[in-house]
Amino acid sequence: MSDYSPPSPPRWLTAGVVALLVASFAYSVLVAHQPLLGLLPAFVVGVCYFAWRVLAALEAIAARD
């Protein structure tokens, strides 16, 4: 195995995103009474994170050659 380690997001960014997701879910449940509305931002963040990891993996593969 190689010594390459993919970049990870900073802890402050992760904490901020989690805080925003919790706040949006709390708003959607307590104020709007639509729990599925709170899952949409979490889905978008998850898709963006997955895309970022795929891009990092492709760049690592391309850099090996």
Report pLDDT for 9: 83
Res. 1 pLDDT band, cuts 50 70 90: very low
- Give the model confidence (pLDDT) of 15-36 as tens digits: 999 999 999 999 999 998 998 9
Cβ proximity of 29 and 37 under 8 Å: no
Q: What angle do CA 55, 59, 64 make, to 5 degrees?
A: 150
Check whether 13 has a pLDDT greater than 50. yes
Please check the confidence at residue 39 and state whether its pLDDT lies above 80.
Answer: yes
